Amino acid sequence: MTRHAPPRWLETLLQRCLPARDRETISGDLLEEYREVQLPRLGPLQADLWYLRQLLGFLAVKSFGGSTIRATLTWMSVITALAGVWLAVMENLLKHPGYPQRSAIAACIVIQGLATLLFLMWHGRATFRVIVLAGAVGAAVLGASAIIRDLNAPHFEGFVLLIGAALIVQGMMSLVVVGGARHGRAF
Amino acid sequence: MADLLGAFEQAVLLAVWNLAGQAYGRAVLRGTQSALDRQASAGAVYATLDRLEQKGLLISRIETGTAVRSGRARRYYQLTAVGVRALNESKTALEQLWGGAKWPLESKA
* R_g (Cα) of chain A, nearest Å: 19
Contact A80, A166 (CB under 8 A): yes
Do residue A29 and residue B25 have CB atoms under 8 angstroms apart?
A: yes
Of B43, B62, B74, the CB nearest to A62: B43
Q: Is residue B107 part of a domain?
A: no
Q: What is the mean pLDDT of each run of 10 residues along chain A (187 residues)?
A: 81 85 93 94 92 82 60 80 86 84 85 81 67 81 84 80 83 75 40
Taking residues B3-17, what's their average pLDDT?
92
In angstroms, the CA A72 to CA A173 distance is 9
Q: Which residue of B has its CA nearest to A31?
A: B69
What stretches of A37-157 show up as alpha helix (H) in DSSP?
39-42, 44-57, 68-94, 99-121, 126-152
Query: What is the domain count for chain B?
Result: 1
| Domain parsing of chain A, residue ranges | 8-62, 68-179
- pLDDT band per the 50, 70, 90 thresholds, residue B29: very high
Residues 6+ away with beta carbon under 8 Å from B38: none
In a domain, residue B75? The reply is: yes
Asked if residue B51 belongs to a domain, the reply is yes
pLDDT at position B37, please?
A: 87
Q: Which of A121, A174, A172 is nearest to A143 (CA)?
A: A172
Reported ipTM: the value is: 0.87
Q: What is the pLDDT of residue A183?
A: 39
d(CA B39, CA A145): 42
Min distance A24 CA to chain B CA atoms (Å): 6
pLDDT for residue A186: 33
Q: Give the DSSP per-residue string, A56-89.
A: HHIIIIITTTT-HHHHHHHHHHHHHHHHHHHHHH
- B26, A33: Cβ pair inside 8 Å? yes
Asked if residue B98 has pLDDT above 60, the reply is yes
Global pTM? 0.61
Residue ranges of chain A whose CB lies within 8 Å of a chain B CB: 5, 22, 24-33, 35-36, 54, 57-62, 65-66
Q: What is the CATH number of the domain that holds B24?
A: 1.10.10.10
Q: How many residues does chain B have?
A: 109
pLDDT one-digit tens code per residue, B47-60: 899 999 999 999 99
Collect all residues of chain B within an 8 Å Cβ-Cβ radius of residue A24.
65, 72-73
How many contacts (CB atoms, under 8 Å) link A and B?
A: 67
CA distance A76 to A177: 13
Q: Examine residue B105 and state whether it is found in any structural domain, yes or no.
A: no
Q: Domain range holding B76?
A: 7-97
C-beta of residue B48 within 8 angstroms of C-beta of residue B9: yes
> Inter-chain contact B68–A60, Cβ cutoff 8 Å?
no
Of A89-103, A147-161, B3-17, B73-87, which has the strongest mean pLDDT?
B73-87
Counting Cα atoms < 13 Å in the Cβ hemisphere of A61 gives 18
Q: Is the pLDDT of residue B27 over 90?
A: yes
Q: Does B92 fall in a domain?
A: yes
Contact between B86 and B73 under an 8 Å Cβ cutoff? The reply is: no
pLDDT of the residue at A185: 34
- At residue B24, φ and ψ (nearest 5 deg) are -100, 170
